């Protein structure tokens, strides 16, 4: 029997030690995953029982950050969003990314499912207030429950809905907050145990703003494929993936391969050539000529690198 609350408390303590030693600016989600592996080993879980970036059929090619005793053991998703250094800080997109992990993990059959998120004080306040505004419940104490009804998620701001993307489901996802631990000054580690969503409540596709849950559940496979093949659908996935890359790395810029790898991890249905064309031509403010869509979400930042336009709005 694994003492998961004890493990997450120990991970929080190790993150706090990094920050106290002056390494806070170097912390990423990969650091948190490695610390989780090391703590699991201290608690008697041998490295041979662990696997990272595990493909899950239920996620249409998407991957889980960490699994103990794969494939059906304990699924873990980790999130450590960091405030943008560019001035482009779309809290609604980050909010959608945070909720997305709950939906993804709930869809995976496993003996146990965890979502662990490190949030700074500012972002935690934003998430709590956003949940209140949109009829969601974000636990502020250990033992509190969280419910994510599809109808409430469909009414989130457009940027948040786009960040959730293909992880949308037709039912209600529920979770229990098992741990809230300080990870150094101004940072909290939240650990949620996720209830599995019944298979009958899964929807393959994207819930768009203004579409209620019953309409989303009624989408046919043909409609889903058509939506995923649209330019706007590709743009939404790319924006969410790029934001995840810069949040995780703490860098201002990103590369096409990084975004492509992130989209593949999430189970994208878009070809690499499509993603490259979208980033280099349709979404880049510096692109000119016939056939460019002119969204102007990104600008070039040297050879092979891009960044969000700090003054550009996602339209």
What distance, in Å, lies between the first and last C-alpha atoms of the chain? 49
What pLDDT score does 204 carry?
A: 42
What pLDDT score does 230 carry?
A: 54
What pLDDT score does 16 carry?
A: 97
Residues 109 and 251 in one domain: no
Residues 253 and 124 in one domain: no
| 169 in any annotated domain | yes
Distance CA 191, CA 183 (A): 12
What pLDDT score does 61 carry?
A: 67
Alpha helices (runs of H) in the chain, residue ranges in sequence order: 4-20, 29-42, 91-106, 121-133, 150-153, 158-164, 213-217, 221-228, 231-249, 256-265, 272-277
Q: Report CA torsion sign: 246, 180, 52, 30.
A: positive
Residues of the chain falling short of pLDDT 70: 60-61, 84-90, 199-231, 288-294, 310-315
Residues 66 and 141 in one domain: yes
Residues 57 and 81 in one domain: yes
Residues 82 and 168 in one domain: yes
Q: In the listed set 177, 203, 219, which residue is the last one of a domain according to the structure?
A: 219
Residues 124 and 261 in one domain: no
Residues 96 and 117 in one domain: yes
| 250 in any annotated domain | yes
What pLDDT score does 85 carry?
A: 52
- Is residue 134 classed as helix, strand or coil in its secondary structure? coil
What pLDDT score does 219 carry?
A: 36
- Helix axis angle for 121-133 and 91-106, nearest 10°, is 70
Distance CA 79, CA 142 (A): 19
| 314 in any annotated domain | no
The pTM of the full predicted model, rounded to 2 decimals, is 0.66
| Domain boundaries, position 159 | 4-219
Q: Report CA torsion sign: 234, 239, 245, 251.
A: positive
Distance CA 144, CA 189 (A): 15
Residues 92 and 188 in one domain: yes
Q: DSSP characters for 214-268? A: HHHHT--HHHHHHHHTSHHHHHHHHHHHHHHHHHHH--SEEEHHHHHHHHHHTT-
Residues 299 and 215 in one domain: no
What pLDDT score does 47 carry?
A: 95
């Amino acid at each position: 029997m694994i003492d998961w609350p004890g493990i997450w408390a120990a991970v929080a303590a190790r993150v706090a030690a990094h920050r106290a030693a002056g390494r806070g600016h170097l912390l990423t989600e990969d650091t948190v995953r490695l610390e989780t592996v090391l703590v699991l080993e201290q608690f008697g879980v041998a490295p041979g029982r662990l696997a990272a970036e595990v493909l899950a059929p239920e996620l249409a090619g998407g991957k889980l950050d960490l699994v103990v005793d794969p494939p059906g053991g304990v699924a873990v998703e980790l999130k450590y969003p960091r405030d943008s250094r560019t001035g482009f800080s779309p809290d609604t997109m980050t909010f959608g990314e945070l909720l997305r992990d709950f939906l993804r993990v709930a869809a995976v059959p496993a003996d146990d499912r965890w979502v662990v998120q490190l949030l700074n004080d500012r972002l935690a306040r934003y998430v709590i207030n956003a949940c209140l505004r949109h009829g969601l419940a974000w636990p502020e104490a250990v033992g509190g429950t969280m419910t994510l009804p599809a109808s409430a998620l469909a009414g989130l701001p457009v940027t948040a809905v786009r960040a959730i993307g293909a992880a949308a489901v037709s039912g209600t996802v529920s979770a229990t907050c098992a741990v809230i631990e300080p990870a150094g000054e101004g940072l909290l580690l939240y650990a949620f145990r996720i209830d599995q969503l019944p298979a009958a409540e899964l929807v393959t596709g994207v819930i768009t703003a203004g579409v209620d849950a019953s309409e989303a559940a009624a989408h046919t496979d043909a409609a889903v494929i058509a939506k995923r093949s649209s330019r706007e659908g590709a743009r939404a996935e790319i924006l969410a993936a790029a934001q995840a890359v810069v949040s995780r790395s703490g860098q201002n810029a990103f590369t096409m391969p990084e975004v492509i790898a992130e989209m593949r991890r999430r189970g994208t249905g878009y070809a690499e050539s499509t993603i490259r064309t979208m980033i280099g031509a349709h979404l880049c403010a510096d692109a000119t000529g016939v056939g460019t869509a002119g969204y102007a979400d990104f600008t070039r930042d040297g050879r092979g690198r891009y960044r969000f336009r700090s003054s550009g709005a996602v339209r």
